[in-house]
Chains A and B, each alone.
Chain A
């Protein structure tokens, strides 16, 4: 393998920090909130104003007030804080013990719910439809005696977009606190925090720096959460720890930039996604999109290539940075829980899935090369596959008595 960097198609995992964001951060390396040790810099703002300006940038992006935004080290922490903070906090209704989330949520959400289950709360992890969308009628029933719901706006593996507007209305009507993980949503689609009570944001998912994120905590209606860390009581007591001025500035700049680029990024992604759909999904036999095509963003495309295992496809396409839901590509050797939740009767699809993400740096010739590689390797790996040859012969794989190991 050469030392050339991989052609990057894994933007949902992380994005590179935009050069203009690093530039915006430049004057603030030595700034410390509450510490006036560096007064000479180009913009004339001290640490405090810089952080407050960044806070406002983040707030405006999601239609919130700046005092409703607190900085965290990332979306993982924001999710942990929102979920554990609300359920173990002063606003959790004393008479309700039921809290809800979905099987397709990010691990940090599911683990937080598992923890709360061990603390005696009634946790329900709800299924989704095979296209990844939530069954709104089912949800409406479940909300009846629930206190809290956590859901991702846009799924990081499939790009499926949930109907937060409708879900929000249901939650408001039934007095359920709604937390939305918007890590993949901010900067890709308009996000309105007024619809929700708590909302998580990740810096490194929108061309900002790693190590910073934010949590929106609604003030009207007022939501209160307990903190995760004890300490100096920063962020109005909700999140202790010295604020990393330079990272906050980076997050603010990244959010502002990503809003400016939202439409252009969307259209480019749509164009690239359509190319892959036309030349791979619609051209090759039995290649499918995982996720509701009419309710997903084009930046994330998850495809299933039945009868071909995900890791083998990625390995053949080693000059591209991609990810797969196959067990072999995960540290835990478990196949993607998201794809499994969408197809509980057909676990094979998780092993055969591939995620392609289009980002700001994606070039047309990269997509062309990707398409050519997909066409070539899918065909070759299928010719290697006993499952493919059985299917070609008309054998129904479900009738086979597999000797599992």
Chain B
């Protein structure tokens, strides 16, 4: 199978998996134990968790790190913590369904900020169409209006708190396990899950040490590989070489900056047909349409702003992962061209 859906979930990195199994096995022989205990193995676990937390702080240059069970939970923490939230209709459902949120068009952000300090909550890279936000500009704007910036960095490949006040990092989008995520902040957070004093009282619940270890290992692998930036650049260029530019969503939205690892291709053929075709050839991608709700609501939104030509309202989203090869891109391109040229 050719897997081109890493934006949905990324294959578990081998080192991350081995790290988790290592921790689980060490638990079984008594080397690690519950962090609340007063015995040696508990203290060892507590020290290890501190090391892991320290590693994440180093990678992000953040001050506080809360390990949560998912990025939905991490985002919910930010929403609970803030008094007012400003977001846009582009963002991930976990950001948009909150009752405290005020929705604006992105270009009306400054006007809304004039109404009073808030937490602006945005995705760093759009999960569906791959558009990249200029975080630095937005951060400066927020500071101008005494506001804070929360970035859901789930689709990003490098994490730097220099231009953010809160940042959500999703483990399974970067090769770590599902079931853990992190909220990195510059201030201590109000809890939404209460109980014991884990995470310095910010998030109760026994720390899932094996998952956290796997998550941090995956982050380190990502860092060691410089976010796979070169690789993704190459794959993106290869895709463009093999598929005509009129099929690229970017062509119709020249004012937007797109990342290399999420690419949206557009066609006139219904999403269901694309899906069936790709499935038949054992290629995993995401499909969607500008007209109907589904996997790619982003297309719908883009269409409302950029008015795609009628015959190009259906889309295919490819997203690259660390294991995506040039050969896979070539095969995909062949199949795609075959599909769009047949009728």
Residues of A within 8 A of B (CB): 1, 5-8, 10, 13-14, 16-17, 19, 22, 29-30, 32, 34-40, 72-77, 79-80, 106-109, 111-112, 114-115, 204, 209-212, 228-233, 240-247, 311, 314, 318, 320-324, 329, 331-332
Residues of B within 8 A of A (CB): 1, 3, 5, 8-9, 11-12, 17, 21, 24, 27-31, 33-34, 36-42, 68-73, 75-76, 79, 92-95, 97-98, 172, 177-180, 192-197, 204-211, 282, 284
Closest A residue, CB atoms, query B101: A230
Give Cα A228–Cα B75 distance, bound, in whole angstroms: 11
CB-CB < 8 A to B24: which residues of A?
16-17, 22, 209
Nearest CB on A from B34, distance (A): 4
Give Cα A324–Cα B29 distance, bound, in whole angstroms: 22
Nearest CB on A from B251, distance (A): 28
CB-CB < 8 A to A209: which residues of B?
24, 208, 210
Nearest CB on A from B48, distance (A): 13
The reply to whether A243 and B34 form a contact with Cβ atoms under 8 Å apart is: no
The reply to whether A5 and B31 form a contact with Cβ atoms under 8 Å apart is: yes
The reply to whether A322 and B39 form a contact with Cβ atoms under 8 Å apart is: yes
Q: A37-B284, A77-B205, A204-B206 are in contact. Are A19 and B28 (CB under 8 A)?
A: yes
The reply to whether B205 and A244 form a contact with Cβ atoms under 8 Å apart is: no
CB-CB < 8 A to B9: which residues of A?
32, 35, 37, 242
The reply to whether A212 and B38 form a contact with Cβ atoms under 8 Å apart is: no
Is chain A's binding surface mostly helix, strand, loop or mixed?
loop
CB-CB < 8 A to B11: which residues of A?
30, 37-38
Nearest CB on A from B75, distance (A): 7
Closest B residue, CB atoms, query A111: B194
Nearest CB on B from A263, distance (A): 23
Closest A residue, CB atoms, query B295: A34
Nearest CB on B from A361, distance (A): 8
Q: A228-B76, A230-B79, A244-B177 are in contact. Are A76 and B206 (CB under 8 A)?
A: yes
CB-CB < 8 A to B68: which residues of A?
73
Q: A8-B33, A32-B172, A321-B33 are in contact. Are A73 and B196 (CB under 8 A)?
A: no
* Sample of 7 A–B contacts (CB below 8 Å): A16-B28, A22-B21, A30-B12, A38-B1, A204-B206, A321-B41, A331-B197
CB-CB < 8 A to B179: which residues of A?
73, 211-212, 244, 246-247
The reply to whether A37 and B197 form a contact with Cβ atoms under 8 Å apart is: no
Q: Which 8 A-B pairs have the closest CB atoms?
A: A108-B195, A5-B30, A211-B208, A73-B69, A244-B179, A241-B70, A231-B94, A231-B72
The reply to whether A108 and B205 form a contact with Cβ atoms under 8 Å apart is: yes
Partner of A229, one of B30, B36, B76, B178: B76
Question: Counting chain A CB atoms within 10 Å of each CB, which of B21, B34, B172 scores highest?
Answer: B34
Give Cα A210–Cα B97 distance, bound, in whole angstroms: 29
The reply to whether B172 and A242 form a contact with Cβ atoms under 8 Å apart is: yes
Nearest CB on B from A388, distance (A): 23
Closest B residue, CB atoms, query A1: B40
The reply to whether B73 and A229 form a contact with Cβ atoms under 8 Å apart is: yes
Nearest CB on B from A249, distance (A): 11
The reply to whether B1 and A210 form a contact with Cβ atoms under 8 Å apart is: no
Give Cα A106–Cα B3 distance, bound, in whole angstroms: 44
Closest A residue, CB atoms, query B38: A329
Closest B residue, CB atoms, query A317: B39
